[in-house]
Amino acid sequence: MVLASILNSDLLNLAKVADTVRESGADALHYDVMDGRFVDNISFGLPVLSSLRPYTKQPIDVHLMIAEPLRFIERFVKAGADLLSFHIESDSDPKETLRCIHACGIPAGIAVSPDTPVSAVYPYLSGMQKDDFILLMTVYPGLGGQKFMPEILPKIRALSAFLSKEQLPLHIEVDGGINAETGMQCRKAGADYLVAGSYVLGSPDPAAAVASLNTPIL
């Protein structure tokens, strides 16, 4: 699945951006939320999501890079999130945050920053449900346009092997510096959800960019 991140898009024309995401063939729109506390940046939040939701029929994958995600779960679901992820490094209890997202009836994701061992999520995987996912950040959270970190590839492989061993039907999402080359590396390592921002929405041909992310694995 390809998810187009709108973080570095033309924020003055989000309706047009949503049209481009749909026309590109991307499977979903990726929406990053930053609070200036968990990461040193502030992006859009609830009002923008509420405005965007009725405009597009595409799934919206909301990534919460905020200090207290549990406080806002219900509000983000009400605003239009179809998938919702939070960081294992946040101040909220992961089990309770997962429970709250599941109670809202949508897939939940646990995001992992580059410096956090992937094993940090293992104690919570048994409490996750079909269609839930682990989001491995392939850049440091907070800013778009960063260079892909190849040192995350072993973490993807380790998580993929663990999920297979434990027979857990969860997805692996990656976000940061994703293009045709790095996307293929991640898919070969075990990822099946690719978040791409600048590579898709900054391309003169977004549809071709999305198609390149869906190239069959040889």
CATH number assigned to the domain comprising residue 74? 3.20.20.70
* Residue tagged active-site, from 82, 175, 192, 205: 175
Q: What pLDDT digit, counting tens, does each position of 153-191 carry?
A: 999 999 999 999 999 999 999 999 999 999 999 999 999
Report if residue 34 sits inside a domain: yes
Strand partners of residue 86: 64, 110
Cα distance between residue 29 and residue 202, in whole Å:
15
Report if residue 218 sits inside a domain: no
pTM, rounded to two decimals: 0.96
Cα distance between residue 61 and residue 108, in whole Å:
10
Q: What pLDDT digit, counting tens, does each position of 86-142 carry?
A: 999 999 999 999 999 999 999 999 999 999 999 999 999 999 999 999 999 999 998
**Is 82 among the residues known to form the active site?**
no
Q: Are 209 and 2 in contact (CB under 8 A)?
A: no
Residue 158 contacts by C-beta under 8 Å, 6 or more apart in sequence? 118, 119
* Residue tagged active-site, from 19, 32, 40, 91: 32
Report if residue 117 sits inside a domain: yes
**Is 32 among the residues known to form the active site?**
yes
| pLDDT for position 144 | 67
Domain count, the chain: 1
List the domain range (segments joined by +) for residue 185.
Answer: 2-213
Ramachandran region, residue 73 (left: φ > 0; alpha: ψ -120 to 50; beta: rest): alpha
